[in-house]
Amino acid sequence: MNKSLALLQTYLGKDSSDSISPLMRWLNPTLLHATAGELEFSYLIREEMTNPMHILHGGTTAAIIDDAIGAAVFSLGKPHQYTTVNLAVDYFASAKTGDTIIAKTTIIKNGNQIVNANCEVWNADKTRMIAKGYSNLIKLNPNRS
């Protein structure tokens, strides 16, 4: 097991109030499952995550997907950092204030330069898909600014 995955596994069942990611601290998911390249989080939808209709804002959904995918890449324990180069999200259903949603990430292609991943967002009992996103991330060159 790599160091990154070992660190993530210490957070199983806990919220993300101590995350190194400021966005993840704000989203504050609970880590439910962690293996290399596959993570699952639960999120409680708070009012500040919603739009004027009190349903989960599409931008918040995209942020959940992007942040969860980033954590999945981190779980691989790669020696370099990766950053998102694209993010595509399809929206299927709504979630409202007070609902719990589940985000499940999977690394599809673990390449050296490019990592491809997806994330499915479900309602709490996984009977209704809220959204699905995929992303490509590229390795950062530490010698360039």
pLDDT digits (tens, 9 = 90+) for 81-111: 999 999 999 999 999 999 999 999 999 999 9
Asked if 41 and 68 touch (Cβ cutoff 8 Å), the reply is yes
Note if the pTM is more than 0.85: yes
Q: What percent of the chain has pLDDT over 70?
A: 97
Asked if 12 and 32 touch (Cβ cutoff 8 Å), the reply is yes
47-78 pLDDT tens trace:
999 999 999 999 999 999 999 999 999 999 99
Residue 133 pairs with which residues in a beta bridge? 89, 119
From residue 46, give the alpha-carbon distance in Å to each of 4, 22, 37, 100. Answer: 29, 17, 28, 9
Banded model confidence at residue 144, pLDDT cuts 50, 70, 90: low
Work out the mean pLDDT of the chain and round it to a whole number: 96
Burial class (CB in 10 A: 0-12, 13-18, 19+), 33: middle
